[in-house]
Structures are given as C-alpha cells and as structure tokens.
Amino acid sequence: MEKTALKPKIPLEKQVLMTVNGDEAVAYAVKQSYVDVVAAYPITPQTIIVEKYSEFVNDGLVHTEFVPVESEHSAMSACVGAAAAGARAFTATSSQGLALMVEIVYIASAMRLPIVMAVVNRALSAPINIHNDHSDAYLMRDSGWIQLFVENVQEAYDTTIQAFKIAEDPRVQLPVAVNLDGFFLSHTLEEVYMLPDDEVYGFLGGPRKTVNVKVDYFEEEVPFTLNPARPISLGSLDLYDYYFEHKVQQVEAMKAVPQVVREVNEEWYRLTGRRYGDGVLRAHWVDDADIVVVAMGSGAGTVRSVVRKLREKGERIGLLQLRMFRPFPYSEVAEKLSGAKLVVVMDKAIGPGAFGALYEDVAVSLYDSGERPMLVDYIYGLGGRDLQPSLVYKMIEEAKRDLEAKRVERKIRYLGVRE
C-alpha cells in the first residue's frame, strides 16, 4: 500500500479492519462481488478459499450456486458454462490443478468469457511439492488470460475485486487470473482493510453488466451470451478459413487491457486510498539507478526493503515490480529500464534448457533499445525456498561486480541453491 495525500471516498476509519490470511481475503472479496457461480475443487494451498466460501453459502450470506466438482478440469468447465450463460463466475486452483484444467483455460479465453480465478502459486511436480514458486503461472502465460501478481494480503483482497471489473469491461471481455504466492500469502495472517458490501456493489456496478431489453419472457440479457431468445454460437468448429482471424481478435482484445487496468487502479485509489503503482507496474528508485532488479509477487517486498537500505547508503539501486505479467507491458518496461546499466531479473520458476519466462520478456522489451543494459537471470525460491534478505544482498553484490567488470559471465544463476 502506498502513502498518499488523497482523501478517499471511504477513509480507513470507515473500512472494516480484519485479520485474515490471503486465502480468506480472496474469499471475502468474492463474497462481496455478487458472484453467481463458484465451481470448486480443493488443492493445497488454495483450499481455504473455496472452503471459506462454502461457509458463506451454507450460512446464507451469499446467493451463489456453489458447484463442488470432481476435478479442476470440471471446475473450469462449469465456469465456462456459467459465464457463457451470463453469470459472474469464479474458481481457484494451484499447481497440478491448473495443469489439469489447462485445456479448458485456453477455451475460456478464446470464448472471451470474463471468469476470475485465484491462482495460489505452487510448484509443479515432480518431485511433489506443496509450496510456492511461479511455475504454474508460467504454465498458463500463453493461454490468453490476464495475469496479475500481488505482493501482500491487502493487495490480494483489492485485486480480486478489481479483477471482476477488468474482466467484464466491454473493451476487454477476457478472463483474469489473480496470482498470490502459496503459504507466503495464502496462509499468512495480515491486517486487511475491507470495504462495506454496498461500496463494492457500487464499484462493480452491481451484478454482471446487463442491458435492459425484453425479449419474450427474458427481462434482461448480458450481451454476447447464450440465450434462446437471441441465439448465438460460442466455441464452435473453426477451421483454417477463420481460425487465424479469431485468434488475432484475442490479441487485439489484449491491447485494451493495460489502459483498463490503470483506470480500475485509479478508481480504486479514489475509493479506498490504495493503489498499486499505475496498476501495471511499480517503479522504486529506478530513474537514477545503475542496477535495477525486476521482480513480481511477494518476493518483491523483500527486495524493496533491501534496496531501500542500500539507497539510504547512497547506492544507485532500483526495483521494478511487475503487477501485470500478461499482457506483458513491453514498452513500459523498456522505458523504465532505459537508464540502467545492468538489469537483474528474478524468476521464481525454472525452464530447463531455457531462460526464465520473465527474463525472456524483459530481454524482448530491451531488444530495440539504443543502448541496452547488461542482463542477468536469477532463479530463486523454487519449491518454497525462502528469499532471505541476505540472499538479496548477495545477488546485488554479484551484480555490482558484473557492472565493474562490464560483463556478465554467467547469464543464468541460482540464488540460494546448494551447489
């Protein structure tokens, strides 16, 4: 949360302060978002989300159709059917659960369905591991979903509500994945400021957007959804005569996303006093930095605390924190890194035989720059290994030696691994 002089519409004293973990914060956000259908299958470490939400359903606190399915593949399938019929739909998953549902993940985005999914990031097997890294998020990076990463539990709550507004914006109409680090956030208690229900209702404009029409016995209709009064076809067979054009339409839809994300971030700021950079990325001490670290997720908070201490000593180190990973903000990243001499990219996943996915995107961003900074890729935190401040200091010291030598000997490095 960033300090600001703005007087928000709902000041902190009128917001509800609760002590919750990240999973509970997401569940409360979904509770306030007037969701019609939640399709649920448990998997560690996201299970608390759907367990908590099932309590809301059982206690009559929400009027949601709660569908306990037999697999993650079915969970996303149920969301596809619900969203196609005009419902506001939500699910959550992690790791192997996302891998199992990935067939339908691609279908959801190609059908332009504004589903919201919490992805509580967990390492992919094998070996079996229930703790955090970003390999599951990287698995779906080309699926056509918007991917947002949060740093803390407050941001998880805020971003989940924002995700529905982003997904349903008529300029977008795409699904959104809200990524929060497993256990580091999902099971960690924080004090979180939550809005009154009616304020979330107003922010989202009520239930999923409708148009006032009356066709036979149908009083309202969500545009471009399955309705026997206004027949349309979704997800039909599409061979070489039109498939190419329809895929390009997905790409074109993605172009509107950064602007919508920024607008929603600013609207949330005016309402609550909280915003997250410009909604797309957050730059910390980047303008005059010789070395800039690029990171996302909960680890960015650890990096920022170290960078702050180094800045107090007069060292020209910066941090560029990505909140939106897809669509990737290539031009914005290039602009922010234009003055750096060396860029350190932190990937919380490994790609055997390749660089990390975040590194590759940063490299593409800088490719056409006149004077490109040197680049190095640090793989860290696999399987939930802790990112201790001492490791960040070590990484920056190595980067300073690279800068002094004016060359990077090892382009891929492993931070905190026993070698």
Q: What's this model's pTM, rounded to 2 decimal places? A: 0.95
* Tokens read off for 219: 């009083």
Cis peptide upstream of residue 68 (ω within 30 degrees of 0): no
Say what the pLDDT of residue 1 is.
Answer: 46
User: Following DSSP, what letter does each residue of 309-354 receive, concatenated?
Assistant: HHHHTT--EEEEEESEEES--HHHHHHHTTT-SEEEEEESS--TTS
pLDDT digits (tens, 9 = 90+) for 12-35: 999 999 999 999 999 999 999 999
Is residue 95 within 8 A of residue 46, CB to CB? The reply is no
pLDDT at 236 over 90: no
Say what the pLDDT of residue 235 is.
Answer: 87
Taking residues 57-73, what's their average pLDDT?
97
pLDDT digits (tens, 9 = 90+) for 237-249: 999 999 999 999 9
Q: Which amino acid is at 70?
A: E
Confidence band for 211, pLDDT divided at 50, 70 and 90: very low
Domains observed in the chain: 12-209+258-268 (3.40.50.970), 281-415 (3.40.50.920)
Taking residues 99-111, what's their average pLDDT?
97
pLDDT digits (tens, 9 = 90+) for 156-185: 999 999 999 999 999 999 999 999 999 999
Say what the pLDDT of residue 219 is.
Answer: 52
Is residue 367 within 8 A of residue 154, CB to CB? The reply is no
Residues 6+ apart with CB under 8 A from 95: 43, 121, 122, 123, 124, 125, 130, 135, 136
pLDDT digits (tens, 9 = 90+) for 250-259: 999 999 999 9
pLDDT at 4 over 70: no
Taking residues 133-142, what's their average pLDDT?
98
pLDDT digits (tens, 9 = 90+) for 278-329: 999 999 999 999 999 999 999 999 999 999 999 999 999 999 999 999 999 9
* Number of Cβ within a 10 Å radius of residue 86: 20
3-class SS at 124?
Answer: coil
Query: Cα 407–408–411 angle (5° rounding)?
Result: 155
Mean pLDDT of the chain: 95
pLDDT at 97 over 50: yes
Confidence band for 227, pLDDT divided at 50, 70 and 90: confident
pLDDT digits (tens, 9 = 90+) for 374-397: 999 999 999 999 999 999 999 999
Chain-centre distance for alpha carbon 153: 13
CA separation for the pair 84, 210 (Å, rounded): 14
